[in-house]
A and B are shown apart, each in its own frame.
Chain A
Amino acid sequence: MRGGWAGRLLRVDLTSGRISSAPTEPHLAYAGGTGLAARVYLEEVEPGTGPFDAENLLILMAGPLTGTPSPTSGRATFYSASPAGYPRPVCRPSSIGGSLGAELKYAGFDGVVIGGASTTPVYLWVGDGRAELRDAGDLWGRDTYETQAALLKRHDPRAAVAAIGPSGERLGRLAAIVHGTGFASGLSGYGAVMGSKRLKAIGVRGTGSVPVADPGRLLAAVRRATAQLYRPEDPPRMTGSRGSGRAYAGASDFVARHSVGLLACHACPVACQGVFRVPGAPLCADSCAWPHAMAVDGFPRGIEGWRATWEVNTLANRLGLSGYEVTWAYSFVVRLRDAGVIDEAGSGLPLHGDPVDLLRAVALQIAAREGLGDLLAEGPPRAAQALGSGAADELVESRGWPLLLDSDDARTNATLALLPTTGSYVPFNDGWSLWGYYAGSIHLPMGDPRATLSAAEIDGVSERVLGDARATDPATFDGKAEAVRRANAYRMLADSLSFCTWALPLDCGFYDRGLTGDEAVLAELYSAVTGAETDLDGLLRLGERIVTLQRLQGLRHGYHSAAQDMTALDTKVFGVANSDSLFPGGVVDGERLRAELLRYYGLCGWDTEGTPTPATLSRLGMEDVAPYLPA
C-alpha cells in the first residue's frame, strides 16, 4: 500500500447491523473522495434505485492526502443518489470540511460505505479500527448541535461528529449533514438519505497516523502551496469576500463588529470561516452567508442584512438544513407571493410582515414540514410543479439546483452557461484561478484590486493555460469547451484527492503578479505523500478519468443524455441582459450553446449522445468500467 492511504474501507449494512471492512486497494486508479466513491457506487448500485431506497448507498470518502498538512486537503466527500436532483435524482459528490475526513484516516479508514436501512434510529461510532452501531432513540428529534454535543460528551471531546437534524429525519430534500457549527455536506439532500436509513449521526475518533512516503519533500511542497493560498497579513476572507455588488454591502462591517475568530478546515491555511458572537444568538461559525435573501427587494441590506442572514443560517445549521437553499427557497416564496400564487392563509407564512421573520419562518416550516414548508422541503422545483399556477415561472434552476443570479452568472458569462449542461455539479466560480479572476475572486476582500485583472492580463493567462485568449472571454462561446473541460477535470480532481474546490487550480495565484500560479505543486504534494510519482498532466488525466466515470454513472442511472444536457440550462436565462454585471450583455444563444456542448463531448472523447467511446475508456486506462457502458 502506498503512502497517504489508510488501506481499509469500512462497510456498514444498516439492515442487518453487520459491520465489516475491505481493502481500499482495488480502485486506487480513481484516487479517493469522489473518484473512489463513484467507482464503488457504479459497481454496487443498480439503475432505478431511488435515493430513499435501502439499496441506495451513502458513501463517505476521504482522499489520499487527507490527514496530511497538504493545504486544504482535510476535506471528505459524501456520495450517493441525491434526492435534490430534478426531475430525477443525480449521483453526485457533496464535500464536507472540518475534521471528519482527517479523523477517519487517523481511525484507520479511507472511507465508509453505508447501505441498508435501520428500523430504529441509530448512530455510527468509529474509533481506531473499530466501529459500532448504537441506539439513537434519545437523539432523534434533536438538532445537529445538541446531537453532536451529546456524542462528544458521551465518547470523546476530540471526536468529529456529523449529524442530521429534524429536516433530514423528515426526508426534506434540502437537508444537510452538519459537522461542527458550520461545516456541512449541503446542496444534495444527503441529510435526508441519512434520515431514510434512520442514521442520526456518524462520530469518528482516530489516534493513529497517515503514512507519508517522503516527509521532507512534503514539507517543502506544503510551503510552496501555502504561499499560493495565504498570507498572514491579509484581512479575513470570509463572508462577503466575493464582492458582487449590492447584496454584499455591509459584509465587512458585520465581520468587524461580530467576528471573534477564524476557523479552518483541517490542514487549511485560508480559514474562510468566521466565528461570530452576536448578542442573543448562540456561537456560530460561518463561511458564507448566502446572498439570495439580500438580493430580494425589501430584505434588509448592509450590516442588518448580514446579521439576519447569519442568524437564519445558524438556525438552518441546527435544523440540519442547507442555509444556501433556505435562502433560495425564501426568494422563491417572495416571488410566489408577488405573483399571487400563494397567500398567507394557504401557506401559513407571514408573507407581508418583516422579511427576516419570513426567512426564519421558511426555515422552520421546511424543517417541520408544516404549511407551505411541506412542499418546499421537496425542493423548489418539485414545489413549483405541485403548486402549478405558473409557480415554475418564478424559478431559475438547473437539474434541481439554483442558478445563482448575481453580478456574474449564466446570463452573461458563457462559461457559467455551458458548465451546468455538462455536469451535475453546481457551477460556482473558483478562487485562486482564472475562473475566479474575471468576476472578482471569491476569497479576496471586496474591493481588493487583486480581485480583478485587466482584460489584457486575463487574456495572457487564458492563452497560457488554455491556449486560447478567448477561452475566458465571458461574452463568447468560443473556446468554452476547452475551458469547461479543464474546470470539470479540476473539480473532480479536487473532490477526489481531496482538496477544497475553492483552492484549485492554482493557475494564477493572488500574490504572483507574474500570474504564473503554481499548478505543479499539486502533483508534488501527491507524489510526496503517496510515493506514486506523477506530474500535472498525470493529475489532469486522473481528473478526466473521474469526469468520465461520473458520465458513465449519469448514463447508467438515467440523468445524463444529450437531450437532458441540452435542456439543463433554464431557457429563462437565454438572451437576458444583467445590468449588475461587468459584462452586461445577454450572451446565451440556444444554438450556439448546443454546438459548444457537442464540441465538449468531442474533446472528452464522447459520441454525439455524450457516451464515452470504448477507445476513450482505453485511452484513459478505464477498461474496468467498460461493462457499465450503455448497450
Chain B
Amino acid sequence: MSRLGEALNASPAGRLVADAAGCSDCRVCEMVCTLVHEGDAAPSSARLTVARDPFVDDHAEVRLCRQCADAACQAACPSGAIAPDPRTGAPVVDAAACDGCGACESACDAGMIRVDPRSGVAGKCDLCGGDPQCVAYCPPQILSYRDRGAP
C-alpha cells in the first residue's frame, strides 16, 4: 500500500450521521438515494434505511453505513471489487468488478451492503463521492456528513 494509502486508512473515513430524534419518517432520503444512483425511486434499493413502528416508536430509526476502517465487506470480497474511495475513504463497490456473489452481504453485521436483485451487483453507501445527496435533500436536515478525518 502506498504511503498516501496508509495515511488515508489511518484517519476515519467520511461518514453519515443522523440525529434520528428529528426524523419525520418522510423517506425523502431513500428516494433521493436511488434517484441519484439508479435513476428511479426505489427505497428498497436505497443505501440507507428509515424504519419506524408507528405503534411503538417516538421517531424513526435511521440505519446508515458506518464506513468501517478494515471493512468486513471489503475483506470478504473475493473479487477485490470493494476498495476505499480516495476522496472520502469510504469503501465503495466497483460495479464492473462485482460478480454479485453476496459474500459482502453476509460479512456486514449492520446489513448495510446488499446485492440488489435488479442489478445483480452489490450496493452500499458511497457518500456520493463526498457530496451525499440524502444530506442535501433531507427536509428537517437531520442527516449530516462528517468529512474524513473528523472525529
Contact = CB atoms under 8 A, between A and B. Distances in A.
Interface of A: 67-69, 74, 99, 102, 106, 145, 148-149, 152, 157-158, 180-181, 207-212, 215, 218-219, 222-223, 226, 230, 232, 260-271, 275, 277, 283, 285
Contact of B21 (A208, A261, A267): A261
B75 interface: no
Contact of B41 (A68, A149, A275): A68
B25 interface: yes
Contacts of B44: 106, 207-209
A267 B26 contact: yes
Which of A69, A219, A267: most chain B Cβ within 10 A? A69
30 contacts: A68-B41, A69-B28, A74-B27, A99-B27, A145-B55, A148-B55, A149-B55, A180-B54, A181-B55, A209-B34, A211-B40, A212-B35, A212-B39, A219-B36, A219-B137, A226-B139, A232-B140, A260-B59, A261-B22, A262-B140, A263-B24, A264-B24, A267-B27, A268-B24, A268-B26, A269-B28, A270-B139, A271-B139, A275-B58, A283-B56
B43 interface: yes
B26 A266 contact: yes
A215 B36 CA distance: 7
Nearest to B20: A261
Interface in B35-54: 35-36, 38-45, 51, 53-54
Interface in B99-132: 118
Contacts of B26: 74, 264-269, 271
B43 A219 contact: no
Contact of A218 (B35, B42, B133): B35
Contacts of A181: 54-55
B22 A223 contact: no
B32 interface: yes
Contacts of A223: 137
Contacts, number: 109
A269 B42 CA distance: 19
Contacts of B23: 261
Nearest to B50: A158
Contacts of A102: 27
Contact of B43 (A106, A211, A212, A263): A106
B139 A269 contact: yes
A260 B58 CA distance: 6
- Candidate in B24, B34, B118 with the most chain A CB atoms within 10 angstroms: B24
**Top 8 A-B pairs ranked by shortest CB distance?**
A209-B42, A269-B139, A271-B24, A264-B26, A207-B44, A264-B24, A261-B59, A180-B54
B140 A209 contact: no
B41 A264 contact: no
Contacts of B42: 106, 208-210
Interface of B: 21-28, 31-32, 34-36, 38-45, 51, 53-56, 58-59, 118, 133, 137, 139-141
Given A149-B55, A267-B26, 18 more contacts: A69-B32, A69-B35, A69-B41, A181-B55, A208-B42, A209-B34, A209-B40, A209-B45, A210-B41, A212-B35, A212-B41, A219-B137, A232-B139, A260-B58, A261-B58, A269-B28, A275-B58, A285-B54
* Most chain A beta-carbon contacts within 10 A, residue among B22, B23, B44, B133: B44
Given A68-B31, A283-B55, A263 B25 contact: yes
Contacts of A69: 28, 31-32, 35, 41, 137
A260 B40 CA distance: 33
A223 B139 CA distance: 10
A179 B118 CA distance: 30
B21 to A, nearest CB: 7
Residue with the greatest number of chain A CB neighbours at <10 A, chosen from B34, B54, B55: B54
Contacts of B35: 69, 212, 215, 218-219
Nearest to A259: B58
A215 B40 contact: yes
B51 A67 contact: no
* Residue of B43, B44, B53, B133 with highest tally of chain A CB at under 10 A: B43
Given A149-B55, A277-B58, A232 B27 contact: no
B138 to A, nearest CB: 9
A277 B58 CA distance: 8
A199 to B, nearest CB: 21
B16 to A, nearest CB: 17
Contact of A275 (B43, B45, B59): B59
A545 B13 CA distance: 54
Nearest to B30: A69
Given A69-B137, A222-B137, A267-B27, A158 B58 contact: no
A260 B52 CA distance: 14
A284 B133 CA distance: 32
B39 A215 contact: yes
